[in-house]
Amino acid sequence: MGIAYLNMPGFMRAMFIMLCAMMILPELTHAKHARVTRHYKFNIKMQNFTRLCQTKSIVTVNGRFPGPRIIAREGDRIVVKVVNHVQYNVTLHWHGIRQLKSAWADGPAYITQCPIQTGQSFVYNFTVIGQRGTLWWHAHISWLRTTLYGPIVILPKRHVPYPFPQPFREVPIILGEWWKADTEAVINQAMQTGLAPNISDVHTINGLPGPVSNCAAKETFQLKVKPGKTYLLRLINAALNDEMFFSIANHTLTMVEADAVYVKPFSTKIVLITPGQTVNVLLKAKSKAPNGTFAISTRPYATGPASFDNTTATGFLEYKKTSHASNKSNTKKLPLLRAVFPKFNDTVFAMNFHNKVRSLANARFPAKVPKTVDRHFFFTVGLGISKCSKNQQCQGPNNTRVAAAVNNVTFVTPNIALLQAHFFNKSKGVYTTDFPSNPPFKFNYTGTPPSNIFVSSGTKTVVLPYNTSVELVLQDTSIIGAESHPLHLHGFNFFIVGQGNGNFDPKKDPIKFNLVDPAERNTAGVPSGGWVAVRFLADNPVCWSYMNRCLVHALPP
């Protein structure tokens, strides 16, 4: 458990208040130029919900699932007071918000803050700078994210139009999961046994699974549209690990934004969204109301060796008709048309889809890709095994467990927030700054695994000078099994300059990098049995989480 503010000695409280004031002061300076300060109060409380004909108590914000929507305009200041009324420690992360000079508000537990304990509160205070589009918020501790999440809608500044046709209506659509079991019990059991956690029972659209049980009527998302109108669908993938296909039967979607960054519009029947990503698409309704109901569907894209929730969540898109037409059609049920998806492991579709996502890269929305690189990193991402403690009965061979690792290092959660330790110069014994820039040994990463697949462990960080330009290649490995890995960088956007199958070739692959209009995102998926290369500028100081590692940037002069 982290060090709570109330347990600090008096002199440390004074230092903490001064530090917070120093961090908030630039925000206040900027805020006087912002249009609005928007206040929200989030009460974390238990609430009964019924899904799949079964009622259980889940952790919610203000008793809602999914949680409340945060709406702001570019330049607005957002203040959220979070009060914890449940038995669990809680933090909230504002996924994709750059948090310029407001790192204390980012939210990952034990990285930028200690958790909010039962009966305590915390105020998140940040300004939205240079961003507009769809992002989202979610819990960032244990598995509370399975029910603690909601959309963030950032509108352009007043009188600034979208770079695409103005929609008639905007609709958030959040893709998620539902467990019949208590999800905290699920993850705790997995941590004890060393095995993979039990999979979810069903996928959801805006918290609703659709017609997969006798409770379908009350558990199905419905979207009613008017003929000829254009709708902006704000898609969010809130699933823990599953990349998700999304489609609306017999309709074409036009993708216009990814991770709150406008993209070159392109049409598609199917959207693929990695966990944590957001996508805005335009839905142009048919000019005349057709005689049918259309399935709004989502199902997983899965490539790993482990079992996965293979259910399809379904909602209904229906056309509003005139009263005269509706009277005629009430006597018979409209036929349901279903979406058609690729195979669940169609890696070719996945690669082709992601390659279509390109930045606008124009004068109004330039793509500021670092053309030169100061620091190169090569990270292998995959699975391995680690020894369990003697007093723990793990179910792997010789009391071992499966562990995720980057460059063969699996992360050990500290008992004090890394940002706190960094600012108070108390890092000794909390973290080290020797995270490897390259794997400890080379092997055929996507071929036959090495004989020794044990991983090391530690709380290791990477230290970067302020304004360092970084190129990071993330390489999937076939140890235990190749699979796609969703990875999110806090405090930054990055440019996806290249990706490919097999092992990254440092001589041949960089020649093909896109440095003109690559996708700018905050979350990316490392392809199964492949690699992805990203570039970014380390221009946001202090400590930021990346794959639960910490990038510690020196403060600017």
DSSP for 237-291? E--SS-EEEEEETT--EEEEEETTEEEEEEEESEEEE-TT-EEEEEEE--SS--S
Asked if residue 385 lies in contact with residue 400, where contact means CB atoms within 8 angstroms, the answer is yes
pLDDT for 18? 40
Pick from 238, 305, 248, 249: nearest CA to 273: 238
Query: Token pair of 557, please?
Result: 């002069």
pLDDT for 16? 38
Mean pLDDT of 202-217: 85
**What string of DSSP letters covers 103-138?**
GGGS--BTTTB--B-TT-EEEEEEE--S--EEEEEE
Pairwise CA distance, residues 442 & 139, whole Å = 36
Opening angle at CA 371, ends 368 and 375, nearest 5: 110
Mean pLDDT of 47-64: 96
Pairwise CA distance, residues 315 & 297, whole Å = 6
**What string of DSSP letters covers 399-437?**
SEEEEEEETTEEE---SS-HHHHHHTT--TTT-BS---S
pLDDT, one tens digit per residue, over 368-408 is 999 999 999 999 999 999 999 888 888 888 899 999 999 99
For the chain, the distance separating the N- and C-terminal CA atoms, rounded to the nearest angstrom, is 34
List C-alpha distances in Å: 130 to 124, 201, 518: 19, 39, 19
Q: Under CATH, domain 34-160 is a member of which superfamily? A: Cupredoxins -  blue copper proteins (2.60.40.420)
How far out from the chain centre does Cα 200 lie? 18
Pairwise CA distance, residues 419 & 427, whole Å = 9
Helix (H, G, I), strand (E, B) or coil at 330: coil
pLDDT for 21? 42
CB atoms within 10 A of CB 370: 18
Domain range summary for the chain, segments of one domain joined by +: 34-160, 163-321+336-357, 375-555
pLDDT, one tens digit per residue, over 412-435 is 999 999 999 998 989 999 999 999
SS3 of the chain: helix, strand, coil, percent, to 5? 15, 40, 45
375-555: CATH class: mainly beta
State the pLDDT confidence band at 19, using cuts at 50, 70 and 90: very low
Q: Does domain 163-321+336-357 have CATH number 3.40.640.10?
A: no
Mean pLDDT of 75-87: 98
Asked if residue 190 lies in contact with residue 241, where contact means CB atoms within 8 angstroms, the answer is no
DSSP letter at 556 equals P
pLDDT, one tens digit per residue, over 114-165 is 999 999 999 999 999 999 999 999 999 999 999 999 999 999 999 999 999 9
- Evaluate if residue 22 carries a pLDDT over 80: no
- Evaluate if residue 4 carries a pLDDT over 70: no
pLDDT for 342? 95
pLDDT for 197? 93
DSSP letter at 358 equals B
pLDDT for 218? 75
Pairwise CA distance, residues 359 & 355, whole Å = 11
Pairwise CA distance, residues 409 & 457, whole Å = 5
pLDDT, one tens digit per residue, over 547-556 is 666 777 655 5
List C-alpha distances in Å: 85 to 59, 82, 321: 10, 10, 46
Query: Token pair of 27, please?
Result: 């925000």
- Evaluate if residue 341 carries a pLDDT over 80: yes
Asked if residue 95 lies in contact with residue 102, where contact means CB atoms within 8 angstroms, the answer is no
State the pLDDT confidence band at 545, using cuts at 50, 70 and 90: confident
pLDDT for 541? 85
- Evaluate if residue 297 carries a pLDDT over 70: yes
pLDDT for 245? 98
pLDDT, one tens digit per residue, over 508-520 is 999 999 999 999 9
Query: Token pair of 39, please?
Result: 């206040």
State the pLDDT confidence band at 543, using cuts at 50, 70 and 90: confident
DSSP letter at 201 equals S
Pick from 197, 115, 157: nearest CA to 395: 197
Mean pLDDT of 31-43: 79
With a CB cutoff of 8 Å and minimum separation 6, the contacts of 159 are none
Residue in the structure block whose two tokens are 């199902």: 299
Pairwise CA distance, residues 91 & 69, whole Å = 17
**What string of DSSP letters covers 156-198?**
PSTTPPPSSPPPSEEEEEEEEEE-SS-HHHHHHHHHHH-SPPP
Pairwise CA distance, residues 313 & 212, whole Å = 8
- Evaluate if residue 223 carries a pLDDT over 50: yes
Pick from 25, 178, 12, 184: nearest CA to 89: 184
Query: What is the torsional sign of CA 480, 486, 490, 493?
Result: positive
pLDDT above 70: percentage of residues in the chain: 90
Pick from 107, 116, 62: nearest CA to 87: 116
- Evaluate if residue 14 carries a pLDDT over 80: no
pLDDT for 169? 98
User: Where is pLDDT greater, at 6 or 81?
Assistant: 81
pLDDT for 414? 93
Opening angle at CA 221, ends 216 and 222, nearest 5: 110
State the pLDDT confidence band at 285, using cuts at 50, 70 and 90: very high
How far out from the chain centre does Cα 555 lie? 27
- Evaluate if residue 255 carries a pLDDT over 70: yes
Asked whether the domain spanning 163-321+336-357 has the same topology as the one spanning 34-160, the reply is yes
- Evaluate if residue 26 carries a pLDDT over 60: no
| Least confident segment among 152-166, 204-218, 250-264, 472-486 | 204-218
pLDDT for 323? 61
pLDDT, one tens digit per residue, over 461-483 is 999 999 999 999 999 999 998 98
